[in-house]
Homo-oligomer: A and B are copies of this chain.
């Protein structure tokens, strides 16, 4: 340990965000200086920019088996979620004011719903089990006559659990209620098909599948009433004003195209590496358990709670060894609070503090995993030796 240069650099925090693939950057490059027109302009410079974003719209639609005209580009997954929750709830407010979300949603869904609650909407937050799974029957029985929107995430970015969206979608559709899913963590990493999932709206973000930051999308089934978050120009059918971020949208489109081709090979490459972590870490360290579902989880995601440890100290020591990892959502990591996801799964606060989240990407290999498995145990030992909670536990254990 110490300040020496680490032996290796291992980025296993892809879910926080990722590098763009070379082909994605290559696709973007002409749109900074050569094709720089405003897609709304009525001249050749505008025409080529507009054609570029319409091509990207087709590429994104193809990734989720939707229609291009149903894709609304946004600047982030958080914006797509806010637009879905606030825009759809306000758009349907004439029919009722009750909305349903799960307890483990990203804050861009959960807090958007809380904001609506303050504005007079009613909110039901459905619980999850110890694996982070939402029970479709729990959703069904929460639906009331005045329920206008249900939002349950496709996969949880903190614990990797994939929710039974198709089953939930069937029940929500039977009740005639709109169904949104935050598929930011899943889209581009596993197959996502809006028709098979039975959703009316779906959020995705390019920087979860080797696309650029600054480009994301809300897919929204045709003819659904949506109140925009912002007022202004006629971009995105008036549903999302502001000059289109052409290079980023082009990059998102290219990343979507590559994902359609490469999801199977990426899954095949990454799930054995994930499984090596899932098996290896509990073998190398005592008092550790996997969080999220053991099998129904993202192929690039392995998350744990390491007892008697404070997660941030662990991150810093891992960082000093060249390993980039996180203890929860990057969006809230600087808030240094125990994750609401782990708490909702019934994990006690002090154990939730020891959360550790590995998310893998195409640049990772087996040697990266070996390096993590070598470096993590002595760090955990070192931190436990300084932990009053561990000392107490060991004392009690010894009797």
Contacts and interface: CB of A to CB of B under 8 A. Distances in A.
Interface of A: 11, 13, 16-20, 22, 25, 28, 32-34, 36-38, 40-46, 75-79, 81-82, 106-108, 111-112, 114-115, 205, 207, 212-215, 229-235, 241-248, 312, 315-316, 318-319, 322-327, 329-335
B231 A82 contact: yes
B330 A32 contact: no
Number of copies: 2
A107 to B, nearest CB: 5
Interface centre among A214, A326, A329 (most CB of B within 10 A): A214
A246 B315 CA distance: 22
A20 to B, nearest CB: 5
Given A108-B233, A214-B248, A231-B107, A242 B79 contact: yes
Contact of A43 (B20, B233, B325): B325
A32 B25 contact: yes
A330 to B, nearest CB: 4
Given A16-B37, A36-B18, A319-B44, A243 B213 contact: yes
Contact of A319 (B17, B19, B43, B325): B43
A42 B79 contact: no
B244 A213 contact: yes
Contact of A334 (B40, B108, B324): B40
A42 B248 contact: no
B45 A212 contact: no
A158 B220 CA distance: 33
11 contacts: A13-B41, A20-B32, A41-B333, A78-B243, A82-B232, A107-B241, A108-B241, A112-B230, A229-B229, A229-B230, A248-B248
Given A76-B241, A233-B330, 7 more contacts: A13-B43, A41-B333, A43-B315, A43-B316, A45-B324, A107-B233, A229-B229
A243 B38 contact: no
Contact of A335 (B207, B234, B324): B234
Nearest to A326: B41
A255 to B, nearest CB: 12
A33 B40 contact: no
A76 B331 CA distance: 21
A127 B108 CA distance: 39
A123 B195 CA distance: 44
Given A38-B17, A41-B13, A42-B316, A108 B33 contact: no
Closest 4 interchain pairs by CB? A233-B331, A76-B242, A214-B245, A111-B231
A241 B329 CA distance: 13
A24 to B, nearest CB: 8
Contacts of A28: 32
A33 B22 contact: yes
A324 B212 CA distance: 29
A245 B75 contact: yes
Nearest to A335: B234
Contacts of A33: 19-20, 22, 25
A147 B22 CA distance: 53
Contacts of A247: 212-214
